[in-house]
Amino acid sequence: MRTIVIATRNENKIIEIKAIMGNSDFNFKCINDFPKIGEIEEDGKTLRDNAIKKAKITALKTGLWALADDTGLEVDYLCGAPGIFSARYAGAGCSYSDNNAKLLDELKGVPLNLRKAAFRCVMALSSPTGDIITVEGVLFGKIMEAPRGINGFGYDPVFMVRGTNKTMAELSSEEKNSLSHRAKAIQKMKLCFIKCR
């Protein structure tokens, strides 16, 4: 069974990726299983840059295939912000609640029809020698005026999925994992996993 290292310390992402992958022919580990790998600074100019950097460094340091993603929330009214800064929108060490509060404050008074947004996930798969494959998944929706729901993480409570009347946080894990931006990226990436066998 081939081992793939998920290049993140975010437990929510690890759980989600494993759930979306379902029963597979791969043994998934995470970067926390390799203490010698320090923090990988996300200093790229794009989501793709960050995903590639995390995957490549992890693969080269472990000698294993590595999978990384970088995900951003892009709000039209805010010219694509928070984008690559989504995880630290409210500042270093901020919480999910802090980020949501800042986002809602930035959109205060903006009508719902102008609150269009998209979750964008870029996923990178690196071979042990640093060869890279990237894919992307996008989910469209809009930002609500207040958080709703208790599931998920990040901006899920304020992001209403287009074509539904539910925020991501109001969806069950099964529903979310069938339609999310990360699910779309992983479905594309599954075709690439053949190279890892």
- The parent domain of residue 163 ranges over 2-196
Number of domains, the chain = 1
Q: Residue 194's pLDDT is what?
A: 67
Q: Among all residues, which ones are annotated catalytic?
A: 70
- pLDDT value of residue 197: 60
pLDDT tens digit sequence for 9-46? 888 888 888 888 876 778 889 898 998 888 899 899 99
pLDDT of 26: 81
Asked if residues 104 and 155 have their Cβ atoms less than 8 Å apart, the reply is: no
Residue located via tokens 């995470």: 30
Give pLDDT < 70 ranges for the chain: 1, 23, 194-197
Task: Tell me the β-bridge partners of 5.
Answer: 29, 66
Contact present, 7 and 66 (Cβ < 8 Å): yes
What CATH number is given to the structural domain containing 186? 3.90.950.10
Q: Is the peptide bond before 82 cis (omega within 30 degrees of 0)?
A: yes
